[in-house]
């Protein structure tokens, strides 16, 4: 399965063993931003692969047109009884900020398309703008855990955001109408 992105020339593939080196290097670079994996700091290499897949339903790597891995996206902690799940999109934003939007859109499409989910949550530290704002999808802020994490000499809030299936459907309809 491989879905070329017509707008950015990106390729989004299921994550495989060949991506482990890239993912560990990425985690070391963006430790504070990859909350699911690095909530207590960067795991040691021998624990990293298991942690990478813990509770994950699907996980993708986004590649630039020349095949270089530049971002990762995950759907995890699915709770099908309540119709909810969590998503991560992590990229080396300094170099590949343009990849985060298409990666997020792909993951939302994949998640809402394949599972009966009502709502998807995402969380980020308030030291950077929500990575999902780049996708243009209306995530609502539902919680702000104040002074949650220590980084760069101060405490930062942890923000929990959510997007509902209805919002996603409306966003898709509006995007399609805009393209006509």
Interface residues with another protein (CB under 8 A) are: 39-41, 81-84, 118-119, 121, 141-150, 155, 160, 162
Residues near 17 by Cβ (< 8 Å), separated by ≥ 6? none
Q: Find the shortest distance in angstroms from Cβ 167 to another protein.
A: 12
Minimum CB separation of residue 97 from another protein in Å reads: 27
CB of 85 to another protein, least distance (A): 12
Whose Cβ is closer to another protein: residue 43's or residue 83's? 83
Lookup result for tokens 């942690």: 51
Minimum distance between the CB of residue 145 and another protein, rounded to whole angstroms? 5
List beta partners, residue 149.
156
**Contact call for residues 27 and 79 (beta carbons, < 8 A):** no
Q: Nearest 5°: phi and psi at 23?
A: -65, -35
Kindly tell me which of 81 and 179 has the beta carbon lying closer to another protein.
81
The residue among 54 and 68 lying less far from another protein, judged by its C-beta, is 54
Least distance in Å: CB of 47 to another protein?
Answer: 15
Q: Which residue, 127 or 143, is less far from another protein as judged by CB? A: 143
Report the nearest approach of another protein to the CB of residue 30 (Å): 17
The set of residues, in sequence order, having a beta carbon less than 8 Å from that of 23 and lying 6+ positions away, is 15, 48, 52, 61, 69, 72
Alpha-carbon radius of gyration of the chain: 16
> What is the C-alpha to C-alpha distance for residues 53 and 35, in angstroms, rounded to an integer?
14
- The CA distance from 121 to 139, in Å, is 9
* 8 Å CB contact between 158 and 148: yes
Question: Which residue's CB is nearer to another protein, number 32 or number 64?
Answer: 32
Q: Between residues 48 and 121, which has the closer beta carbon with respect to another protein?
A: 121
Closest of 133, 142, 157, 177 to residue 35, by C-alpha: 157
């Amino acid at each position: 399965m491989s879905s070329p992105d017509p707008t950015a020339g990106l390729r989004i593939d299921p994550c495989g063993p060949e991506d482990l080196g890239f993912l560990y290097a990425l985690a070391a670079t963006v430790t504070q931003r990859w909350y699911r994996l690095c909530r207590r700091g960067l795991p040691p290499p021998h624990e990293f692969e298991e942690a990478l897949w813990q509770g994950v339903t699907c996980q993708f790597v986004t590649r630039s047109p020349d095949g270089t891995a530049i971002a990762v996206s995950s759907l995890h902690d699915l709770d099908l009884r309540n119709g909810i799940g969590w998503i991560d999109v992590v990229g080396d934003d300094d170099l590949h900020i343009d990849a985060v939007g298409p990666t997020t859109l792909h993951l939302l499409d994949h998640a809402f398309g394949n599972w009966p989910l009502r709502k998807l949550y995402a969380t980020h530290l308030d030291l950077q703008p929500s990575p999902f704002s780049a996708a243009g999808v209306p995530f609502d802020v539902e919680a702000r855990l104040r002074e949650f994490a220590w980084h760069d000499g101060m405490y930062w809030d942890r923000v929990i955001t959510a997007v509902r299936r209805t919002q996603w459907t409306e966003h898709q309809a509006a995007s399609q109408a805009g393209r006509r």
